[in-house]
């Protein structure tokens, strides 16, 4: 799948930068265009991969490159006022000729991300026919009420505009007792891992990478709607194990018993993926599921994939699409799941209730 990504704000820019880096090193043009939009010049300077010409500083005359300080309304106004700059950057890339969809990425607790992401999403829906998705990164509880209010307001705008909102809950994935930068780097890594497989799947460059059941961009597009969560898990072989397997393949004939391990392994990975979602959800409320197994061809077991698909149908009562992606030179087997069609999520409800309760208290005090 070829995706044009637009990172808005600090968190959005960093995640977009990671995905751009993967696109370059993967050998597939899965991210033909990436853009970073920010009101803070220092955040744009900290990016490593997105081309300098695609780093758009907005609000130069208003905040002079110093950010909006968690001010959602100011972030929204600045992006609206400077939307022509973003529009020109998109036009110059001629991106619509080479992509399957857009994705707007933002940490929706900050001012620029929460205020600017819905504005950019609306612009994309107006000018392009391709689907527009949002990747919304929720703030943690300890980041305060201002960021919670920003998140609620931003989600309302995104949910009314985009084709699906993929949710990543920082509150669930934060690491306690480690430096904040290390914690954010860990969360960004866990967030981008499943998208690497999703984007690369279907962009087949050789016969060796054609699976038993190919999943392409149309399958992903048909799965995504309303709120979506993603799960990912993998098993990596140590170098010694890889050498041992190579020798075994040369001198030992595989038996039916040998084939049992890959089947169980596939099922175990998918089950673990559902336990490692980007945000908690009620599985019975899921309406569409996409499952992808990726790894060495010999480890992609049809029995394991079918068993995994049946299990997903059982626990979700949803429409399930499943496929495999052979990676001949991979050092491990991975499973990725998309759970979509969710009308709400427990974490979103918790943040919304928190904001609503605070508003009631303020009104009570005022009265």
pLDDT at residue 206, rounded to an integer: 54
User: Dihedral sign, CA of 274, 133, 186, 215?
Assistant: positive
pLDDT at residue 203, rounded to an integer: 59
116 by Cβ neighbours in 10 Å (0-12 / 13-18 / 19+) ranks as buried
Sequential pLDDT tens for the chain (367 residues):
899 999 999 999 999 999 999 888 877 778 999 999 999 999 999 999 999 999 999 999 999 999 999 999 999 999 999 999 999 998 887 666 779 999 999 999 999 999 999 999 999 999 999 999 999 999 999 999 999 999 999 999 999 999 999 999 999 998 888 787 788 888 888 888 888 888 887 655 555 555 567 788 899 999 999 999 999 998 875 444 444 444 444 444 443 333 447 789 899 999 999 999 999 999 999 999 999 999 888 888 899 999 999 999 999 999 999 999 888 877 788 999 999 999 999 999 999 999 999 999 988 898 8
Q: Where do the structural domains in the chain lie, given as residue ranges?
A: 3-200, 221-346
CATH level 2 (architecture), domain 221-346: 2-Layer Sandwich (3.30)
| DSSP calls for 317-338 | -SEEEEEEEE-TT-SEEEEEEE
Q: Which CATH superfamily is domain 3-200 in?
A: Tubulin/FtsZ, GTPase domain (3.40.50.1440)
Question: Alpha helix locations (H) across the chain?
Answer: 9-26, 41-45, 72-81, 83-93, 111-127, 145-159, 170-173, 180-200, 217-223, 239-251, 256-275, 302-316, 346-366
Element (H, E) at 137: strand 132-138
Find out whether 258 and 299 touch, Cβ atoms under 8 Å.
no
User: Dihedral sign, CA of 114, 168, 199, 246?
Assistant: positive
Find out whether 106 and 117 touch, Cβ atoms under 8 Å.
yes
pLDDT at residue 188, rounded to an integer: 85
37: which 2 tokens?
Answer: 């939009």
Find out whether 351 and 243 touch, Cβ atoms under 8 Å.
no
| DSSP calls for 280-328 | ---GGG--EEEEEEEE-GGG--HHHHHHHHHHHHHHH-SEEEEEEEE-T
């Amino acid at each position: 799948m070829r995706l044009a990504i637009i990172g808005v704000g600090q968190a959005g820019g960093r995640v977009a930068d990671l995905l751009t880096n993967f696109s370059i090193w993967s050998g597939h043009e899965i991210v033909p265009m990436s853009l970073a939009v920010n009101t803070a010049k220092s955040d744009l300077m900290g990016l490593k991969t997105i081309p300098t010409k695609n780093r758009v500083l907005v609000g130069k005359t208003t905040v002079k490159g110093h950010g909006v300080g968690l001010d959602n309304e100011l972030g929204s106004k600045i992006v609206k006022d400077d939307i022509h700059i973003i529009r020109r950057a998109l036009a110059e890339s001629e991106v619509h000729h080479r992509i399957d969809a857009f994705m707007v990425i933002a940490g929706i607790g900050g001012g620029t991300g929460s205020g600017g992401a819905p504005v950019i999403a609306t612009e994309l829906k107006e000018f392009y026919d391709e689907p527009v998705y949002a990747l919304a990164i929720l703030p943690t509880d300890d980041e305060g009420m201002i960021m919670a209010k920003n998140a609620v307001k931003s989600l309302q705008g995104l949910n009314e505009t985009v084709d699906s909102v993929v949710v990543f809950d920082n509150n669930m994935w934060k690491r306690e007792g480690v430096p904040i930068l290390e914690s954010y780097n860990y969360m960004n890594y866990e967030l981008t891992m499943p998208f690497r497989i999703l984007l690369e799947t279907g962009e087949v460059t050789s016969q060796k990478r054609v699976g038993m059941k190919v999943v392409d961009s149309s399958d992903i597009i048909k799965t995504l709607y309303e709120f979506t969560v993603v799960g990912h898990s993998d098993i990596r072989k140590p170098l010694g194990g890889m050498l041992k397997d190579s020798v075994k393949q040369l001198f030992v004939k595989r038996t039916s018993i040998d084939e049992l391990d890959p089947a169980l392994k596939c099922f175990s990975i998918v089950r673990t993926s559902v336990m490692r979602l980007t945000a908690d959800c009620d599985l019975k409320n899921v309406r569409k599921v996409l499952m992808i197994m990726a790894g060495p061809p010999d480890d992609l077991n049809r029995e394991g994939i079918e068993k995994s698909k049946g299990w997903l149908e059982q626990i979700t009562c949803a429409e399930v699409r499943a496929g495999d992606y052979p990676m001949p030179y991979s050092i491990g087997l991975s499973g990725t799941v998309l759970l979509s069609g969710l009308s709400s999520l427990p974490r979103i409800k918790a943040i919304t209730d928190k904001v609503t309760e605070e508003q009631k208290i303020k009104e009570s005090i005022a009265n």
